[in-house]
Homo-oligomer: A and B are copies of this chain.
Amino acid sequence: MKIYEDRQAPNPRRVRIFLAEKGIEMRFEQVEFMAAEHKTGDFKVKNPLQEVPVLELDDGTHLSETVAICRYFEGLYPDPPLLGQPGDALDLARTDMWQRRIEFKILAPVVAAFRHLHPAMAPFQVPQVREWGEANTETAGSMLDWLDQELANRPYMAGVRYSIADITALVAVDFARVAHIKPLEGRSHLARWHGAVSARDSAKA
């Protein structure tokens, strides 16, 4: 079993942190985005959408999509639960809601700002639309303000327990700097949360 990834990219880091929280050892093979290695015919067989991460099972089965890969490992190694408490429909749904909210409203605009504004992305983001990149920088800022307020009364994104929603948020917040967005400035609750999740061993993954 191994994972194809690019250590620079945000989505592979989500999977690495998830695996670290579960204590799962993994082999990784680098597919360099900046060298367009994800565009080769070989890699297209592994994922027709030409994105990392991709999990390759020992029988040659490939699985892509960050959260789907995490879901596979949650099934195999349920402890500690990171997608919500097994058997608790509301907790599973609430955890999924927060994971999605953060993925769509924080991570997606941060990545869009990076792709549409960073000169190095021009060969990959076609067309690169400056106006759309700037709109996403603004969206990321207002959504980070909202998230800061949400954290005023609870320790973690989805409630009292660390979950996949915190992983998505940590990766989004750390990647925001690459997109020239200052995620923690003037956001004290978010900064407190960021300090706590960054202190976990898994944050080094």
Majority-rule SS of A interface residues: helix
A129 with B127: CB separation less than 8 A: no
The contact string, 1 if C-beta is below 8 Å from chain B, for chain A 70-91, is: 0111111000000000011110
A71 to B90, alpha carbons, bound, how many Å?
9
Does A64 make an interface contact (CB < 8 A)? yes
B64 with A97: CB separation less than 8 A: yes
* A69 nearest CB neighbor, chain B only: B93
Q: For the complex of A and B, list the 8 residue pairs with the smallest distance between their C-beta atoms, beginning with the closest.
A: A75-B89, A72-B93, A68-B97, A68-B96, A65-B97, A132-B132, A65-B100, A68-B93
Give the B-binding residues of A (Cβ under 8 A): 48-49, 57, 61, 63-65, 67-69, 71-76, 87-90, 92-94, 96-97, 100-101, 105, 127, 129, 131-132, 135, 146, 150
